Amino acid sequence: MAKGSAKKEPKVVGENKASTTPFTPARHEIPYDHLLEAKTDARLGKRLRKELGDDKIVAMFGDMVRLRRFEEQAGRAYQRRKIRGFCHLYIGQEAVAVGTMSALGEADSIVTHYREHGHALARGLSSNGVMAELFGKVDGYARGKGGSMHIFDASRNFYGGWGIVGGQIALGAGVAFANKYRGEKSVCVCFLGEGAIHQGIVHESLNMAAKWRLPLITIIENNRYAMGTSIERISAVTDLTKKAVGYDMFAESVDGQDVFSVHAAVKAAADRANNEGRPSFLEMRTYRYRGHSMTDPSDYRSKEEVEQEQDLRDPIVRLRNWIVANKLKSQDELNAIDDAMDRETKDAVEFADKSEFIDPSELTTDVYVEWPFDIE
Ligand SMILES: Cc1ncc(C[n+]2csc(CCOP(=O)(O)OP(=O)(O)O)c2C)c(N)n1
């Protein structure tokens, strides 16, 4: 679709602009039309190149490509009925996971939703282990007992993978509370979809995080649709940063298709938490290219809308273009990285296929934690 013909955001009726002004934290909304024309900010790119170095930026490209190729393979394996049950692909949202994880340290924690294969891989979990979990096999991160929605690796402070929309934020706030209680300088990042934003638990947790000054970074991955329902249909305001204003919490809308913007926003939020004891609320404006889950025909949005998002905002193409324009690597060198990721994920499918199912005698194990257990 041509730039000029992009659909305008509907005007919000009865909105009281003045109501948000006494608070400094809430930032202005980024209109969708503006995002479609957005380019990577040249100054931000230059700054991050200096801070992170060329190798790390190229590694971020490789990480995003790994996520994309992994999800494509997972989609194919699902169609071959190698993966059963629910499976929610992350294709289109790669910059959010990679930009976030690149800004965190090993001591930081992650609690997330069910669309989490990308978060797990970006956190450093192996393609083999994640794919085996999707296949329900014993070499998976939950020994095949969790499946797609419950990837978990305590050794990397990666605390799942949760299926109840919004419920994980209470766990995230609890982890942040524990970090603070122990006097550790580390944050907990909690990912939610925008569909979770009106759940009561989200508001109870945001309030406590602000009141107790917990090192919690709440990331709303606003991909515009909760299953088949658009954010415009369910929310009185489409600027989700306004939800955090009532808790006097720092809030910002971020271009979630630009890995640099995501990295910078999360890094600033981690510094804010560690240095000032202030939680943050980041709304990442992103988009998913596939349906809600593998069984969703995606007929609630137009083909043109999806194509427009892919053509103008694809996060991988955007970083690829920036890397080539700034001469960090050539197109051919980036293609070689892509090929390597393609091989890695195909190998992961083979690995998962060969891995065994758990013995049926284990079906009732791992349900409860054995008592007594150690509490640090
Ligand atoms: C409390 C609760 N209500 C309903 C559901 C069913 N459900 C599963 S996913 C989903 C949509 C959530 O959308 P969003 O939070 O925007 O995340 P996305 O799938 O877009 O990543 C719903 C309603 C659920 N899992 N939990």
The domains of the chain are located at 52-295+302-347
Render pLDDT for 112-146 as a digit per residue (tens, 0 to 9): 999 999 999 999 999 999 999 999 999 999 999 99
Ligand 1 centroid from CA 46, angstroms: 38
Which of the following CATH numbers is that of domain 52-295+302-347: 3.30.450.20, 3.40.50.970, 3.40.640.10, 2.60.120.10?
3.40.50.970
Res 174: pLDDT: 97
Nearest to 183 by CA among 157, 208, 215: 215
Lowest pLDDT segment from 55-64, 78-87, 295-304: 295-304
Residues in contact with ligand 1 by the CB-under-6-Å rule are 115, 163-165, 193-196, 223, 225-227, 292
- Ligand 1, residues 88, 150, 227, 290: which to mutate, most atoms within 8 A of Cβ? 227
Bridge partners, residue 162, by sequence: 113
Q: Do 151 and 161 touch, CB atoms closer than 8 A?
A: yes
C-alpha separations of 155 from 26, 116, 184, 354 in Å: 35, 17, 17, 25
Res 366: pLDDT: 86
Lowest pLDDT segment from 37-46, 105-114, 344-353: 37-46
Task: Give me 135's structure tokens.
Answer: 């296949």
Ligand 1 centroid from CA 337, angstroms: 34
C-alpha separations of 224 from 76, 292, 350, 363 in Å: 25, 11, 34, 38
Q: What distance in Å separates the CA atoms of residue 115 and residue 132, rounded to the nearest whole number?
A: 16
Ligand 1 centroid from CA 78, angstroms: 20
